[in-house]
Chain A
Amino acid sequence: MSDVRGSADYRRLSAANLLERLRLVVTADDQDTTSTSAREVMLDAYAH
């Protein structure tokens, strides 16, 4: 793959962190789908 950004290690670590973040969200108490936070699209600008 010629046009990926970041090293393979960095991307693997980032993906693992996103899964961890997902775990925190899923295990959080408020699982109210009616709130807008149930559906979000956001960006983490990340300097590396």
Chain B
Amino acid sequence: MIDFLLNGQPRRCEASPDTSVLELLRDTLGQTGTKEGCASGDCGACTVAIGEGDAAGKTRYHAANACITPAHQLQGRALVTVEGLARGETLHPAQAAMVEHHGSQCGFCTPGIVMSLFTLHESQRQEDGERPAPLTPERLEAALGGNLCRCTGYRPIRDAALAMGDSPRGASRVARPSPDAAAPATEATPEAAFIQPTTLEALIAERRAHPEAPIVAGGTDLWLEVTQRLARFPRVVDITRVDELAALEETTLEDGRAGWWIWRRGDVRAPGAAVRRALPGVRPPAASSGLGPGAQPRHPGRQHRQRLPHRRHPAGAARPGRAAMAGGPRDGDGMAERELPLDDFFLDYKKTALREGEVIRAIFLPRTEPERHLKVWKLSKRREDDISAVLGAFAWRIEEGVLRDVRLAFGGMAAIPATRRGRRGDAGGAVPQRGGLCGGPCRRWRRTSSP
């Protein structure tokens, strides 16, 4: 049973554990304003806004792809759809601006675009009282990067977004999550269930009892199994409410490397800030990391793409971080924990070193030493919200004209992120010159890579 607010009205719905928000809306509740385009998180036609209360009691909305968001994650939250924006004949500023600026032709993308604009408007209004803060191009790009429009063209949509900023009235009428409904269901669980543990201990107990039940975090990878491969999951374990998994900790490892342990959840800006500190030269083309997704798949429940590759995605190129796992075979009564270098974590295409019943607790992101050069380049068709064709990450140091500590990594070139470390006589120790950058490793790479 899912208890949530739909456009301000309390709803209680029955749904199988692998139902998406989109299916719930269209098939169960008959709310067909939210459209299905790609059913894989790419197009944004299904965008809705999901609200959660923050510590200050304010409701914070994030845009979400309804097609790949598990319906049960709505428990205790407020869902706003395109049907919930207008008040009678009075359009929401996002809608009014789209009409005024001719932001819609065939209209298929329009509900999704309006919802992205709504979320943007809400977040700006919250930052600056009732009147929205001025919109920067970066924010606009980040907000709309997850929405595709095939016929209108983006200029009128952009104009609408900019005009929306002039409107003093926000959408304060939209639903507030009900505190009573916020707690996930805790009753004894039948075999088919969407389990939402709130502690690591409960999560591990669930993993031990039902190792076959998949874990879901943001769902942007797992839910494609449902929408694209038509998999059925009678039991799903949602880790987004486990408190211990929601943190960020600055630390120094035993080997002296400084960096951050990043847990998968919490305020999405926290990992973002850590990443910026780890990579001080980050040059994002948009307010987002620029390498990652648009606003919808980047909401707080989701892992930071490219950086928390829980299930190895070939497009991701991991840095030499570490993964901490919990819940493995037990020593005595304790909860066995272990750590692995990320390089040893990925075994094969979509296969990792995770043992049965284990979960990833955290990822260690090392700080880049000041004298080290780092370049990360991603090639993809879209700037936002696209799986990269190839991602290259390169780090090196130059000492008296000689290359040292060279590390090269590619995503998209093999079944797992491909990395090469320069050793003496290899990439390290070479004098950078025209004929070839890294000698042996690069040549071997050309010979052996089979993308």
Contact = CB atoms under 8 A, between A and B. Distances in A.
Interface of A: 1, 3-6, 8, 10-12, 14-16, 18-19, 21-23, 25-27, 31, 33-48
Contact of A11 (B282, B376, B413): B413
Interface string B416-451: 000000000000000011101110001000100111
A5 B281 contact: no
12 contacts: A3-B224, A6-B389, A10-B389, A12-B451, A15-B413, A18-B392, A19-B392, A22-B375, A22-B408, A31-B373, A39-B372, A40-B281
A41 B370 contact: no
Given A4-B315, A4-B451, A26 B432 contact: yes
A43 B371 CA distance: 23
Nearest to B403: A26
Contacts of B413: 11-12, 15
Nearest to A21: B377
Contact of B383 (A3, A38, A43): A43
Interface of B: 224, 279-285, 289-291, 313-315, 349, 368, 370-383, 386-390, 392, 394, 396, 398, 403, 408, 410, 412-413, 415, 432-434, 436-438, 442, 446, 449-451
A22 B389 contact: no
Question: What are the 4 tightest A-B residue pairs by CB atom distance, in nearest-first order?
Answer: A39-B281, A6-B389, A18-B392, A23-B437
Given A5-B412, A16-B446, A39-B280, A33 B382 contact: no
B389 A45 contact: no
Given A26-B432, A40-B282, 12 more contacts: A1-B314, A6-B389, A10-B389, A15-B451, A19-B437, A25-B373, A27-B434, A41-B290, A42-B377, A43-B285, A45-B383, A46-B380
Contacts of A8: 450-451
A10 B354 CA distance: 32
A25 to B, nearest CB: 6
A41 B446 CA distance: 24
Contact of B379 (A14, A34, A40): A14
B280 A31 contact: no
Contacts of A18: 377, 379, 390, 392, 410
A15 B449 contact: yes
A30 to B, nearest CB: 11
A22 B442 CA distance: 12
Contacts of A43: 285, 290-291, 377-380, 383
B283 A5 contact: no
A40 B283 contact: yes
Nearest to A47: B381
